[in-house]
Amino acid sequence: KQEVTQIPAALSVPEGENLVLNCSFTDSAIYNLQWFRQDPGKGLTSLLLIQSSQREQTSGRLNASLDKSSGRSTLYIAASQPGDSATYLCAVEGTGGFKTIFGAGTRLFVKA
Amino acid sequence: EPEVTQTPSHQVTQMGQEVILRCVPISNHLYFYWYRQILGQKVEFLVSFYNNEISEKSEIFDDQFSVERPDGSNFTLKIRSTKLEDSAMYFCASSELANLGGNTIYFGEGSWLTVV
Protein backbone atom coordinates (compact mmCIF):
# COMPACT_ATOMS: atom_id res chain seq x y z
CA LYS A 1 0.00 0.00 0.00
CA GLN A 2 1.40 3.36 -1.06
CA GLU A 3 2.31 5.75 1.75
CA VAL A 4 3.40 9.36 1.17
CA THR A 5 5.31 11.25 3.85
CA GLN A 6 6.23 14.91 3.88
CA ILE A 7 8.94 16.53 5.97
CA PRO A 8 8.90 18.96 7.66
CA ALA A 9 5.29 19.20 8.80
CA ALA A 10 5.67 22.94 9.26
CA LEU A 11 8.27 25.52 8.34
CA SER A 12 8.68 29.21 9.13
CA VAL A 13 11.27 31.21 7.19
CA PRO A 14 12.12 34.87 6.63
CA GLU A 15 11.28 36.40 3.29
CA GLY A 16 13.90 35.89 0.60
CA GLU A 17 15.14 32.54 1.85
CA ASN A 18 15.51 29.56 -0.48
CA LEU A 19 13.86 26.45 0.91
CA VAL A 20 13.35 22.76 0.23
CA LEU A 21 10.29 20.68 1.00
CA ASN A 22 10.68 16.92 1.07
CA CYS A 23 8.36 14.11 0.01
CA SER A 24 8.92 10.38 0.17
CA PHE A 25 6.79 7.49 -1.06
CA THR A 26 7.01 3.80 -0.34
CA ASP A 27 6.12 2.25 -3.70
CA SER A 28 8.23 3.36 -6.65
CA ALA A 29 5.68 2.04 -9.18
CA ILE A 30 4.18 5.42 -9.97
CA TYR A 31 2.99 7.17 -13.10
CA ASN A 32 3.69 10.63 -11.82
CA LEU A 33 4.11 12.87 -8.81
CA GLN A 34 2.32 16.16 -8.41
CA TRP A 35 2.91 19.08 -6.05
CA PHE A 36 -0.11 21.12 -4.97
CA ARG A 37 -0.64 24.27 -3.00
CA GLN A 38 -3.55 24.60 -0.57
CA ASP A 39 -4.54 27.88 1.05
CA PRO A 40 -6.59 27.67 4.27
CA GLY A 41 -10.15 26.55 3.57
CA LYS A 42 -9.50 26.45 -0.16
CA GLY A 43 -9.06 23.91 -2.92
CA LEU A 44 -5.90 22.40 -4.32
CA THR A 45 -3.88 24.23 -6.95
CA SER A 46 -1.54 22.14 -9.05
CA LEU A 47 1.98 23.56 -9.08
CA LEU A 48 4.10 20.99 -10.89
CA LEU A 49 3.67 17.49 -12.28
CA ILE A 50 6.63 15.21 -12.86
CA GLN A 51 6.11 12.13 -14.96
CA SER A 52 7.82 8.94 -13.82
CA SER A 53 10.30 9.18 -16.69
CA GLN A 54 11.33 12.72 -15.77
CA ARG A 55 13.83 13.93 -13.20
CA GLU A 56 12.61 17.46 -12.64
CA GLN A 57 10.19 20.20 -13.60
CA THR A 58 10.45 23.95 -13.21
CA SER A 59 7.90 26.72 -13.05
CA GLY A 60 9.07 30.20 -12.17
CA ARG A 61 10.64 30.11 -8.70
CA LEU A 62 9.62 26.49 -8.18
CA ASN A 63 11.66 23.44 -9.05
CA ALA A 64 10.57 19.90 -8.30
CA SER A 65 12.81 16.87 -8.60
CA LEU A 66 11.97 13.19 -8.63
CA ASP A 67 14.14 10.21 -7.75
CA LYS A 68 11.76 7.35 -8.37
CA SER A 69 14.14 4.58 -7.42
CA SER A 70 14.69 6.00 -3.95
CA GLY A 71 11.08 7.12 -3.58
CA ARG A 72 11.84 10.80 -3.06
CA SER A 73 10.87 14.18 -4.41
CA THR A 74 11.84 17.67 -3.39
CA LEU A 75 10.18 20.99 -4.04
CA TYR A 76 12.61 23.87 -4.13
CA ILE A 77 11.25 27.38 -3.67
CA ALA A 78 13.65 30.18 -4.52
CA ALA A 79 13.54 33.63 -2.97
CA SER A 80 10.47 32.91 -0.85
CA GLN A 81 7.77 35.59 -0.47
CA PRO A 82 4.98 36.09 2.09
CA GLY A 83 2.52 35.15 -0.67
CA ASP A 84 4.08 31.69 -0.73
CA SER A 85 2.61 31.00 2.71
CA ALA A 86 0.34 27.95 2.29
CA THR A 87 0.30 24.21 2.74
CA TYR A 88 2.21 22.29 0.08
CA LEU A 89 0.99 18.80 -0.72
CA CYS A 90 2.82 16.04 -2.53
CA ALA A 91 0.75 13.39 -4.29
CA VAL A 92 1.58 10.30 -6.32
CA GLU A 93 -0.40 8.44 -8.92
CA GLY A 94 0.31 4.74 -8.70
CA THR A 95 0.36 2.36 -11.62
CA GLY A 96 -2.24 0.16 -10.02
CA GLY A 97 -5.28 2.34 -10.55
CA PHE A 98 -6.90 5.70 -10.94
CA LYS A 99 -6.27 7.23 -7.55
CA THR A 100 -3.82 9.80 -6.27
CA ILE A 101 -2.32 9.33 -2.81
CA PHE A 102 -1.53 12.46 -0.85
CA GLY A 103 0.95 13.30 1.85
CA ALA A 104 -0.11 15.26 4.92
CA GLY A 105 1.55 18.41 3.61
CA THR A 106 4.10 20.94 4.76
CA ARG A 107 2.64 24.13 6.21
CA LEU A 108 4.87 27.01 5.13
CA PHE A 109 4.91 30.47 6.67
CA VAL A 110 7.09 33.15 5.09
CA LYS A 111 7.66 36.15 7.34
CA ALA A 112 7.88 39.62 5.81
CA GLU B 1 -8.34 29.27 -17.36
CA PRO B 2 -10.90 26.44 -17.21
CA GLU B 3 -11.77 25.33 -13.72
CA VAL B 4 -13.71 22.74 -11.80
CA THR B 5 -16.67 24.31 -10.01
CA GLN B 6 -18.43 22.89 -6.98
CA THR B 7 -21.69 23.68 -5.22
CA PRO B 8 -22.55 24.28 -2.47
CA SER B 9 -19.43 25.76 -0.95
CA HIS B 10 -20.75 24.95 2.52
CA GLN B 11 -23.65 22.81 3.71
CA VAL B 12 -24.88 22.01 7.18
CA THR B 13 -27.10 18.95 7.48
CA GLN B 14 -28.74 16.89 10.18
CA MET B 15 -27.41 13.43 10.85
CA GLY B 16 -29.31 10.85 8.81
CA GLN B 17 -30.22 13.27 6.04
CA GLU B 18 -29.26 12.80 2.40
CA VAL B 19 -26.82 15.21 0.83
CA ILE B 20 -25.93 15.79 -2.81
CA LEU B 21 -22.74 17.60 -3.68
CA ARG B 22 -22.45 18.92 -7.20
CA CYS B 23 -19.53 19.46 -9.49
CA VAL B 24 -19.00 20.73 -13.01
CA PRO B 25 -15.73 19.29 -14.30
CA ILE B 26 -13.63 20.94 -16.99
CA SER B 27 -15.53 20.51 -20.23
CA ASN B 28 -13.14 18.34 -22.27
CA HIS B 29 -12.13 16.14 -19.34
CA LEU B 30 -13.10 12.50 -19.29
CA TYR B 31 -12.07 11.33 -15.82
CA PHE B 32 -13.76 12.54 -12.69
CA TYR B 33 -12.91 12.05 -9.04
CA TRP B 34 -14.12 12.76 -5.55
CA TYR B 35 -11.73 13.21 -2.65
CA ARG B 36 -12.36 14.29 0.90
CA GLN B 37 -10.32 15.98 3.61
CA ILE B 38 -11.38 15.71 7.22
CA LEU B 39 -10.22 18.78 9.14
CA GLY B 40 -6.52 18.48 9.94
CA GLN B 41 -6.09 15.22 8.03
CA LYS B 42 -4.80 14.09 4.65
CA VAL B 43 -6.71 14.40 1.40
CA GLU B 44 -8.22 10.95 0.80
CA PHE B 45 -9.36 9.35 -2.44
CA LEU B 46 -13.02 8.30 -2.58
CA VAL B 47 -13.86 7.34 -6.15
CA SER B 48 -12.93 7.74 -9.79
CA PHE B 49 -15.41 7.71 -12.66
CA TYR B 50 -15.00 7.20 -16.38
CA ASN B 51 -17.34 6.41 -19.22
CA ASN B 52 -20.36 6.53 -16.92
CA GLU B 53 -19.10 4.00 -14.47
CA ILE B 54 -16.93 3.79 -11.39
CA SER B 55 -13.31 2.98 -12.27
CA GLU B 56 -12.05 2.59 -8.75
CA LYS B 57 -13.26 3.27 -5.23
CA SER B 58 -11.66 3.30 -1.82
CA GLU B 59 -12.77 1.45 1.29
CA ILE B 60 -14.28 4.74 2.49
CA PHE B 61 -16.73 4.71 -0.43
CA ASP B 62 -19.26 2.31 1.04
CA ASP B 63 -22.93 1.75 0.22
CA GLN B 64 -24.01 5.12 1.62
CA PHE B 65 -22.10 6.87 -1.17
CA SER B 66 -22.97 7.03 -4.83
CA VAL B 67 -21.87 9.05 -7.82
CA GLU B 68 -23.69 10.01 -10.95
CA ARG B 69 -23.21 11.98 -14.13
CA PRO B 70 -26.83 12.94 -14.75
CA ASP B 71 -26.13 14.99 -17.84
CA GLY B 72 -23.21 16.08 -20.00
CA SER B 73 -21.81 18.56 -17.53
CA ASN B 74 -22.57 17.68 -13.91
CA PHE B 75 -20.96 15.08 -11.67
CA THR B 76 -22.57 14.46 -8.30
CA LEU B 77 -21.71 12.75 -5.04
CA LYS B 78 -24.65 11.56 -2.96
CA ILE B 79 -24.36 10.61 0.68
CA ARG B 80 -27.51 8.70 1.54
CA SER B 81 -27.68 8.89 5.32
CA THR B 82 -25.07 11.24 6.72
CA LYS B 83 -23.10 10.50 9.86
CA LEU B 84 -21.14 12.87 12.07
CA GLU B 85 -17.90 11.43 10.72
CA ASP B 86 -18.86 12.46 7.18
CA SER B 87 -18.10 16.06 8.14
CA ALA B 88 -15.27 17.05 5.83
CA MET B 89 -14.28 19.09 2.81
CA TYR B 90 -15.22 17.20 -0.33
CA PHE B 91 -13.19 17.92 -3.44
CA CYS B 92 -14.22 17.16 -6.97
CA ALA B 93 -11.47 16.79 -9.57
CA SER B 94 -11.13 16.02 -13.23
CA SER B 95 -8.43 15.11 -15.71
CA GLU B 96 -8.34 14.98 -19.45
CA LEU B 97 -7.09 11.42 -19.48
CA ALA B 98 -6.18 8.90 -16.83
CA ASN B 99 -2.88 9.68 -15.19
CA LEU B 100 -1.00 7.24 -17.35
CA GLY B 101 1.94 9.57 -17.37
CA GLY B 102 1.46 13.25 -17.45
CA ASN B 103 -2.10 14.33 -17.00
CA THR B 104 -2.63 16.92 -14.35
CA ILE B 105 -5.60 16.53 -12.06
CA TYR B 106 -7.52 19.77 -11.53
CA PHE B 107 -9.36 20.24 -8.27
CA GLY B 108 -12.35 22.36 -7.39
CA GLU B 109 -12.54 24.69 -4.40
CA GLY B 110 -14.35 22.09 -2.34
CA SER B 111 -17.68 21.70 -0.59
CA TRP B 112 -17.48 21.89 3.16
CA LEU B 113 -20.01 19.50 4.73
CA THR B 114 -20.91 19.79 8.38
CA VAL B 115 -23.12 17.07 9.86
CA VAL B 116 -24.78 17.98 13.16
Q: How many helices (H) and strands (E) does chain A have?
A: 0, 11
Please state, rounded to an integer, the average pLDDT across all residues of chain B.
Answer: 91
Q: Where are the beta strands (DSSP E) in B1-116?
A: 5-7, 10-13, 19-24, 31-37, 43-50, 53-57, 65-68, 75-79, 88-95, 106-107, 111-115
Please state, rounded to an integer, the average pLDDT across all residues of chain A.
Answer: 93
Q: For the segment B16-29, what is each residue's pLDDT rounded down to a tens digit?
A: 999 999 999 998 89
| Residue A89 to residue B98, Cβ atoms within 8 A | no
Per-residue pLDDT at A3 exceeds 60: yes
Amino acid code (one letter) for B11: Q
Q: What is the pLDDT of residue B33?
A: 94
Place A107 in a pLDDT band, splitting at 50, 70 and 90: very high
Residue B62 makes CB contacts below 8 A (sequence gap 6+) with none
Percent share of chain A, pLDDT over 70: 98
Q: What is the pLDDT of residue B105?
A: 84
Do residues B25 and B32 make contact, with C-beta atoms less than 8 angstroms apart? Answer: yes
For residue B100, give the chain A residue with the closest CA: A31
Q: Residue B100: list chain A partners with CB under 8 A.
A: 31
**Pick the residue with more confidence: A15 or A97?**
A15
Among candidates A20, A26, A24, A45, which has minimal Cα distance to A35?
A45
| Residue B106 to residue A46, Cβ atoms within 8 A | yes
Q: What is the pLDDT of residue A94?
A: 79
Per-residue pLDDT at B88 exceeds 60: yes
Q: Residue B41: list chain A partners with CB under 8 A.
A: 104
Residue B115 makes CB contacts below 8 A (sequence gap 6+) with B12, B13, B14, B15, B82, B83, B84, B85, B86, B87
Q: What is the pLDDT of residue B98?
A: 57
Percent share of chain B, pLDDT over 70: 96
**A107 vs B: CB within 8 A:** no
Q: What is the pLDDT of residue B100?
A: 54
Among candidates B82, B97, B8, which has minimal Cα distance to B48?
B97
Q: What is the pLDDT of residue B71?
A: 86
Per-residue pLDDT at A14 exceeds 70: yes
Mean pLDDT on A64-73: 96
Interface of A with B in 40-59 (CB under 8 A): 41-46, 49, 51-53
| Residue B101 to residue A51, Cβ atoms within 8 A | yes
Nearest to A43 among B31, B50, B91 (CB): B91
Mean pLDDT on B43-66: 93
Sign of CA dihedral B1, B107, B113, A9: negative
Among candidates B107, B94, B90, which has minimal Cα distance to B22?
B90
